[in-house]
Structures are given as structure tokens and as C-alpha cells.
Amino acid sequence: MDLKKIREELKKSSSPYKIIADFTYDWEYWISPDHSEFVYVSPSCKRITGYSAEEFIQNAGLFFEIIDPSYLDFVRKELNTPDCPWIFDYKIRTKDCLEKWVSHTFQNIYDANGNYLGRRGSIRDITERKNIELKLRQSEENLKDKTGELEELNRDLENSIQSEINRRRAKERMLIQQSKLASLGEMMGAIAHQWRQPLSTLSILVQGVAHRRRLNKLDDEYLNSFESESVRLMEFMSSTIDNFQNFFRKNKEKEFFDVCKAIENTISILSAQLESSFIKVRTEFPEKGCFVFGYRNEFMHVVMNIISNARNAILEKKPEEGFPGVIDVTVSVKEDFMLINFQDNGGGIDKNILDRIFEPFFTTGFYKKGTGIGLYMSKMIIEKDFSGTIDAVNNGNGALFRIKLKEMRNELKT
């Protein structure tokens, strides 16, 4: 069938179908079997392209002229696709030079006898949809960018928090070390006391040798006992120094240790000094000991702070000789926790300052060179290093300091 005939047929029929096609919203067309001419173009092409149906019928090439050049090859390729129906999107330029997006679908048509009648197509203006899609994609990309920025910000924040934490930890460690040095004076007093007795015993022994020598009574037996006794005393003095050195040495690593042993050790460092102040330290520990994981020296530092505070309170209350100062140290286990109590009979803590004693630099001992750092440090060590608690109350004739730590017996077994 030639084009003329087809056109005539179409005109003749003037069927309701043409009416429908004339009023479709999309741009409908029908091209000749040789694809060189439009058989029919619906008036709606004007709404989409600005060109009238007549213009397309006069000049079929106009169809390619309005395609955005960057899509021309693509459209030609798509139009050659044998598969039907086919659908593809591209950009066009309207008569008013506006850019529009269209969606193109086409289908080959045949008559009842299978003769090829050309191709019908339908072109839809999808500019709005494309714009929305574009905006959506842009905002998605924006969102991705923002999410990336946020993640980066988060990472930065985490890093700076971590480095701040590390900085603080390092600072705390340094403070703890400094506070140990601050108690050096106190410790020197303790060493002096620890050495006083063995030193005087040693001097008596030496005088004994000299005396015997003068009397010509220096036999082997006496010399031997002199030797072993002085070696024992000197070993004791040397071990005192070792104890002090260990105490001041910075703990490198956390370890499992028995708090009862650590308390005993601390008391033994202070024992001579406490004795000279007529202060008795009584201990009550569970037989199996009590284990925690942490810096042993720092725990000993806490014990030393509490005991020296108790000693100061006792000395302040009754400085005269013979006052029966007592410090009771008990360790007990309740469920998973161990309770470490230090009870003294030094008269207790003034009610008005009870809630301030753990503050840094709070001291009532100005004239006695109190630093006010001991309890503050003790609290830091117990809370930060041991995840425990420490508090103080007045009880009986004095103060009661209570430390609560999580016991770690199970971990030790494994």
C-alpha cells in the first residue's frame, strides 16, 4: 500500500480512532513503511515541540532536527531496534529553544494480511519527571556527601576524644607520681623510724665487741653470733630500703595481687613509725586473701594515705605518750565485692568538712604542712584504676574509711 492510499484510507474512515488520536495528550505518530514520511502526526506535538503537526508532515527530517545533538546517535540506534515495542528517553530542543526530556515508544504495524504498514509511535513529555529525578539524584549525592562529612567529623571527634582521654590519663598518672613524691617527706620519717632500732642495736653490738676486746674475752663463739646478728639487722635495713624503692617505683603494668598482702606490706613500711607513736594496727583478713587486678603500688599508696591520715588524727587528739591509738583494718568479702575498712580512734572528721575531704588541696593540716592531695589521689586511684568506690563516715571514736572493690578471684583461677 502506498502512502497516498494509506492517507486516503485514513481520511475516508475519519473514524472515531482518529478523533481519539487527535485528542491524545501524548504526541502520537505513524510513519510510512519506508520510514521517509509521516502518515499521521497528532496535534499534541505542538504542545511538546512547538512545531505543528503540519510542519512535521511537510518535513519529516524535522523529527531529527529537534533532537539534542548529544542524543542523535543514540536515538538513531534505538530506532533501528527490531524489538517492538521499544521505549527509550532522550532530550529535545523545542521551537522556543527550550530543553525537554521525552520518552519515546514505537511499534511496527501490519494489516490483516501481514503487510507492513509502517510504524506507530508515541512521544511523551517527561521533563518534569526527569527534573524531579535529577533533583532527587542531586540531593541523594548531597546526602551522601553530607553523610561522608558527618562520618569524617565523627571520626575526628572520636579521635580527639581518645587523645584527650589519653592526655588526661597521662596527666593523672603524673599527678599520682607527684603525690607520691609529695609524701616522700612523710616516708623519710618512716624510714628513719624503721632504721632507728636496728641501728641502735647494731651500735650496741659493736660496742659489745670493743668491750670484749678490751677485756680480752673475744672468742670465736661471740664473734660468730656478732656476725650473724649484725648481718640479720643489716639485711632488715636493706629490705626496708627495697620496700621504699618499690613503693616509689612506677608500676609498669597492671597485675593480679592480693590486697591483704599489699596492706600488710604498707603497714610494715610504716610499722616502726606507728609503734613510736604508740599506735597499734590490727588486721583482720580472709584466709585465702582477696585478689584484684590493677597497679599494686598505687593501691599501696592509697593504704598509706589513709593510715597516715589516721595517725595524724590520733596524734592530734592525744599527743601525750601512751595514748592507745588503734587502727583496725579489715577486709571482708560480700558476694562479688570486697570491703576494705580502716577504722581509727582519732576522734573523727568534723561534720562540716566531711563532704569536702576528697576534694583536691582540701586540708585542715596547714600548720603541719598538710597538702590536701592524699585523699583526692586515693579517690582517683580507687575509682579510675580499680573501678571501685571510697567514702568516709564517722564511726565510734573516730573515722571509718571504706573502700569497695570488685573481687576477681575467678579470673585469677583461669
Ligand X SMILES: Nc1ncnc2c1ncn2[C@@H]1O[C@H](COP(=O)(O)OP(=O)(O)O)[C@@H](O)[C@H]1O
Interaction site with ligand X (CB under 6 A): 305, 309-310, 313, 344, 346, 348-349, 357, 362-365, 370-372, 374-376, 399
Rank residues 86 and 362 by Cβ distance to ligand X and give the closer one: 362
How many of the other CB atoms lie within 10 Å of CB of 31?
23
Exposure pattern of 91-118 as b/e (b: 16+ CB <10 Å)? bbbbeeeeebbbbbebeeeeeeeeeebb
Q: Which residues contact 223 (CB under 8 A, 6 or more apart)?
A: 209
Q: How far is the CB of 341 from Mg ion (least distance, A)?
A: 18
Q: How far is the CB of 323 from Mg ion (least distance, A)?
A: 20
310 binds, among ligand X, Mg ion, none (CB under 5 to 8 A by kind): ligand X
357 binds, among Mg ion, ligand X, none (CB under 5 to 8 A by kind): ligand X
Rank residues 260 and 373 by Cβ distance to Mg ion and give the closer one: 373
User: Cα(150)–Cα(57) distance, rounded to whole angstroms?
Assistant: 57
Rank residues 43 and 347 by Cβ distance to ligand X and give the closer one: 347
Alpha-helical runs (H) found in 34-126: 45-49, 53-58, 62-65, 69-79
Q: How far is the CB of 284 from ligand X (least distance, A)?
A: 18
Rounded to 10 degrees, the C-alpha dihedral 193/199/200/206 comes to 180
Q: How far is the CB of 309 from Mg ion (least distance, A)?
A: 4
What SS3 class is residue 335?
coil
Q: How far is the CB of 380 from ligand X (least distance, A)?
A: 11
Q: Which residues contact 1 (CB under 8 A, 6 or more apart)?
A: 9, 33, 111, 115, 117
Q: How far is the CB of 336 from Mg ion (least distance, A)?
A: 30
Give the residue nearest to Mg ion (CB). 374
399 binds, among ligand X, Mg ion, none (CB under 5 to 8 A by kind): ligand X
Rank residues 75 and 307 by Cβ distance to ligand X and give the closer one: 307
Rank residues 272 and 377 by Cβ distance to Mg ion and give the closer one: 377
User: Cα(102)–Cα(66) distance, rounded to whole angstroms?
Assistant: 11
| Total residue length of the chain | 414
Rank residues 289 and 370 by Cβ distance to ligand X and give the closer one: 370
Q: CB of 342 within 8 A of CB of 378? A: no
Nine cell digits for residue 31: 510513519
The dihedral through the CA atoms of 281, 287, 293, 295 has a sign that is: positive
Q: CB of 45 within 8 A of CB of 125? A: no
Rank residues 337 and 362 by Cβ distance to ligand X and give the closer one: 362
Q: CB of 340 within 8 A of CB of 405? A: yes
198 binds, among Mg ion, ligand X, none (CB under 5 to 8 A by kind): none
Rank residues 28 and 298 by Cβ distance to Mg ion and give the closer one: 298
Nine cell digits for residue 9: 484510507
User: Cα(80)–Cα(88) distance, rounded to whole angstroms?
Assistant: 12
Rank residues 32 and 312 by Cβ distance to ligand X and give the closer one: 312
Rank residues 208 and 370 by Cβ distance to ligand X and give the closer one: 370
How many of the other CB atoms lie within 10 Å of CB of 38?
22
User: Cα(125)–Cα(48) distance, rounded to whole angstroms?
Assistant: 6
User: Cα(346)–Cα(28) distance, rounded to whole angstroms?
Assistant: 106
360 binds, among ligand X, Mg ion, none (CB under 5 to 8 A by kind): none
Where on the chain is the footprint of Mg ion (CB under 5 A)? 309, 374
Across the beta sheet with 389-395, what order do the strands follow? 279-284, 325-334, 337-344, 398-406, 389-395
Q: How far is the CB of 233 from Mg ion (least distance, A)?
A: 31
